[in-house]
Amino acid sequence: MVETSKEKEMSAEEKKEEASIMGPKVTEPQIVDVPTTEDGNVVDEEIAFANSDGGSIASIAPSVDGVSDAEGISIVEKLAAETEEVSEKKFLFPKIFVKEEELVDIQVEIIFNPSDGDIYSITQPGLLNTDILSTLDVVTYTYKFRPVSYDDMQKYRRQASAYDANRNELIVNRLQLRNFFLINHLRETDMVDENGQPFKLEIDEESNNLSLDSISKIFQTTPALMDVVMTLFERKLLLMFQVAQ
């Protein structure tokens, strides 16, 4: 395999950093021993088990009876009840088929102290009543994502899966899945820093994913911010699967 000129310019350290951020690009599950307690529970709560209906055959296809964004439903109904305007019905049927060009908007509402910039809350807009605030300020940022298709999801599950020989089943690392969603699908944001300077995302032309520089900067944000953003993104697209208890 011949390296491109761009690959040759990258140092060994840079390649190592890129691999650690992007995660392993595997086509087959890895075999690992997953740490468990004496009663058989998994130590890492961020690992989700994807069992087949039979329970003895490994599968990366999760068994899901149904998924819903309960908080999203509640907020939409609440806001509709508080306004006298009647929303125009533009769609008679749900948007089932994914269109690459239609970005998914995720908004987060941040309550902060204008005197020192300290953050007191990061939530989905409409969850808290910000009208009562007198000392603290509130700002809303939007994050635009490329939608996730079923084909994307299957690839990510396969790449984030590992076979646990002790339990004779495949596991899917949810932290790795979340990294795939963030790195491969985030496209735009109107987020700014404490000086009001815009944060512009850069997309790598070859991979069509976030550039290493953009990924590095995002990973430097306060932990709760991207946790909330990614949770809302997963809920909005109903990217959920059954987790073993």
Distance CA 219, CA 199 (A): 13
∠ CA 31-36-37 to the nearest 5 degrees? 165
Q: Map out the domains of the chain as residue ranges.
A: 24-83+98-236
Element housing 144 (H / E) = strand 137-145
Q: What is the pLDDT of residues 110-121, one digit of tens each?
A: 999 999 999 999
pLDDT at position 183, please? 96
| pTM (two decimals) | 0.71
Question: Can you list the residues of the chain whose pLDDT is less than 70?
Answer: 1-65, 84-87, 240-245
Distance CA 50, CA 100 (A): 27
Q: What is the pLDDT of residues 75-116, one digit of tens each?
A: 778 777 777 666 677 888 888 898 988 999 999 999 999 999
Q: How many CA atoms lie within 13 A of 34 on its CB side?
A: 26
* In the block, residue with structure tokens 């992007």: 22
